[in-house]
Structure 1
Amino acid sequence: MTFTEPEEGDRPVPSWPLTLSFIVPPHSAQFGYGGTLEPSDYLKRLTAYMDAAEAIGVTGAFVYDFPVAMDPWLAGFDVLAGSTALEPIVAVRPHQESAASVARRVADLGYRFGRPTHVNLVAGATRPSRAAADDHGDKVAARAELGRYAERLRTELDQRCDPATGRSLLVTPSSATPGLVPADCVLMMARPRTALAESVDRAREEQHTDRVSMLVGVVARDTEDEAWAAAHRLGTPDRRQQIAGRMFMSQVVSSEHLASYALAEEEEIHDERLWYGAPARGIDAPKLVGSVDQVAAWLMSCRALGVTDLIIDLAPDSAEYALVGRVVQACVCP
């Protein structure tokens, strides 16, 4: 989503965030566990989330590809078919799909729906999905191959996609492993501001991009006390959720997730309101907790550090997006 702000003289003030995205809800009863829903129930939930997200101006729809998730291309099709403006960002594993095959799917979806589908290049967050990638022998070699794949995919997309549909962007998660992966935007989880500043600077220098997208959850209410009460209700321990979180954590190899786990072990709350206390933290991004104005102020501090785009982590209920919308509006018109 691109906001229009007042102009300063002859120069327009850059909009922020450049894009606003959300996480597409899964077809399971809970993320990562709980059994699959009936297709009609899944589509009803998906529609409720998409309608609520679109109502606050969300245009990006991130589709995960964890081992228990539905095929991300099918979920992306559901997003395009069931929404009016959402553009899916589909997770793609290079060792599973050729660049030509991915570009063909993106081009065909653009033809079918008249708006772009974007690609999130992931090396694989969990060990089972990394089996083929580990054949490269080491992480540096695997990242170099990811970079070459990104170059091939960009070429294929430029050749196959209709420019009138809109440019399909390449996104890739930040990584502690050195090596250029040419992409339009680097994705990272929220983290304490000192660490965030270091991560943003490194990503921009190493990956040669000015676009940095931050994934964060939001629990905002009219007052700080109401927000923390809501956060603790959402984070009420659930045995199945805790087991699913521990199982996920035991399989993870993603440096982004591992960094979040380390921060969660250090302290439950960082930088006043960055909360790592959810029992499913093995799956969830950290959450900003506070009043609408407090959360907006924290996000605006991230703008000053170089964050350009926002991804709102999966909310427990579609009604949460109305509050997220108030936060984002406060960022636009502080």
Structure 2
Amino acid sequence: MVEVYTTAPASVEPDGSAFRRRLAEVTRWTDAAGHTGLLVYSDNTLIDPWLIAQLILERAARAVPLVAVQPVYCSPYAAARMAATLTFLHGRPVHLNLVTGGSRQHLEALGDGGVGHDERYERLSEFATVLRQLLESPRPVTSTGRHYRLQGASLPHRPRQPPRLVLSGSSEAAVKCADDLGVLRFAYPVPVRSYPAGRSGIRLGVIARPTAGAAWKAAHDRFPGDPLGERRHRVVAKLSDSHWYAELAEVEASGVYWLHPFRTYRTFCPYLVGSYAEVGAYLAAYFARGVESVILDVPDAEDDLHHARLAFDAAG
């Protein structure tokens, strides 16, 4: 059966209490839907993902945070210790999403702008290798790599069940990194007719209803036209060195596959819009090509997950 995550809301609420209420809602909805957990993504505009993960674990009965881990933000030891700490405190594992950062401006702001795209994935591979050793090795870890050096390092509480590692990216360097590490790779998918076969995960939004007309009305109500957003998208498409952003920016969307929310800078993933049967058939085509896990976009309401579940059911 295909595994499903949702996505935690971005920390853009007017204050912390409003954000905590919104996060608690989405966490509760995810739990009620029986999904695996919530993606917690991270960049320079958002609050610390580890603290969001702590809030999720406090509120969820089953769902776990899938925390974005970016080498520019922390060392592999700091990430391993935080993951182990959360597992120790809550008795449940966290999942870790390995990322390199896609905004050139954000990387430059942190003094990392001179590191090339492929080199960031080479560093991420070493980061993840050291991270995994710290979390899994019964002995202190010594590492003398290019980017990270440890001498007899160990964690205060090594988890009995190590965190699951996944990786996000769609470039050749990302594919190689995921293969070298032996982890599932998530991508923002192109239309299924062009989607490469092989074991993978995808991130997208789903707006499904009993009829196509009702689904498209809900889609346009949620994502109306936005000329300013379109201009921001065009600027980002020129400045970003992320392979996936450039790839999606060139895609010709049609039918169930919808890119309007992406091209108005409302979200970063494509959407599938249509009846349960239409969306289910499109999902089934992805599954037939090797997709085994899906991260859904941030739900707008609890009903979104109910409708999405019926589309997944239709996919078989």
TM-score, scaled relative to structure 2:
0.84
Matched, 1:283 2:271: no
Matched, 1:42 2:41: no
Q: Provide the C-alpha distance between the structure 1 equivalents of 2:224 and 2:11, rounded to a whole number of angstroms.
A: 22
Secondary structure of 1:308 counterpart: strand
Matched, 1:180 2:159: no
Conserved? CA contact 1:52–1:322, under 8 Å: no
Please name the residue that 2:243 is paired with.
255
Matched, 1:329 2:308: no
Alpha-carbon offset, residue 68 of structure 1: 1.4
Q: 1:3-42 residue pairs with structure 2 within 5 A?
A: 16-17=1-2, 19-28=3-12, 36-42=13-19
Alpha-carbon offset, residue 184 of structure 1: 2.1
Secondary structure of 1:51 counterpart: helix
Matched, 1:274 2:246: no
Please name the residue that 2:221 is paired with.
233
Q: Provide the C-alpha distance between the structure 1 equivalents of 2:249 and 2:266, rounded to a whole number of angstroms.
A: 7
Change in 2 beyond 3 A, CA 1:314/1:240:
farther
Secondary structure of 2:177 counterpart: coil
Please name the residue that 1:6 is paired with.
none
TM-score, scaled relative to structure 1:
0.80
| Equivalent of 1:221 in 190, 194, 209 | 209
Q: Provide the C-alpha distance between the structure 1 equivalents of 2:11 and 2:291, rounded to a whole number of angstroms.
A: 31
Q: Provide the C-alpha distance between the structure 1 equivalents of 2:44 and 2:301, rounded to a whole number of angstroms.
A: 23
> Letter of the aligned partner of 1:50 in structure 2?
T
Alpha-carbon offset, residue 309 of structure 1: 0.6
CA displacement 1:257-302 (0-9 Å, x = unmatched)? 2211111xxx342xx3111122534633110011112111111111
CA displacement 1:75-101 (0-9 Å, x = unmatched)? 111111121111111111113311111
Alpha-carbon offset, residue 128 of structure 1: 2.2
Matched, 1:128 2:129: no
Please name the residue that 2:85 is paired with.
108
Change in 2 beyond 3 A, CA 1:291/1:52:
same
CA displacement 1:293-317 (0-9 Å, x = unmatched)? 2111111111110101111112333
Instruction: Single out whichever of 293-302 and 98-107 deviates more from structure 2.
Output: 293-302
CA displacement 1:150-184 (0-9 Å, x = unmatched)? 211111121346554x3311111133243434152
Please name the residue that 2:60 is paired with.
83
Conserved? CA contact 1:119–1:170, under 8 Å: yes
Secondary structure of 2:45 counterpart: coil
Please name the residue that 1:98 is paired with.
75
CA displacement 1:29-65 (0-9 Å, x = unmatched)? xxxxxxx422222122112211122211112211111
Percent identity over the alignment is 25
Q: 1:114-153 residue pairs with structure 2 within 5 A?
A: 114-131=91-108, 132-136=111-115, 138-153=116-131
Alpha-carbon offset, residue 235 of structure 1: 1.9
Aligned residues: 291
Secondary structure of 2:35 counterpart: coil
| Equivalent of 2:296 in 292, 309, 312 | 312
Q: Provide the C-alpha distance between the structure 1 equivalents of 2:125 and 2:113, rounded to a whole number of angstroms.
A: 15
Deviating 4+ runs (over 6 angstroms): none
Please name the residue that 1:9 is paired with.
none
Secondary structure of 2:185 counterpart: strand
Secondary structure of 2:114 counterpart: helix
Q: Provide the C-alpha distance between the structure 1 equivalents of 2:266 and 2:249, rounded to a whole number of angstroms.
A: 7
Instruction: Single out whichever of 249-258 and 228-237 deviates more from structure 2.
Output: 249-258
Change in 2 beyond 3 A, CA 1:152/1:93:
same
Matched, 1:53 2:48: no
- Aligned-residue CA RMSD (Å): 2.2
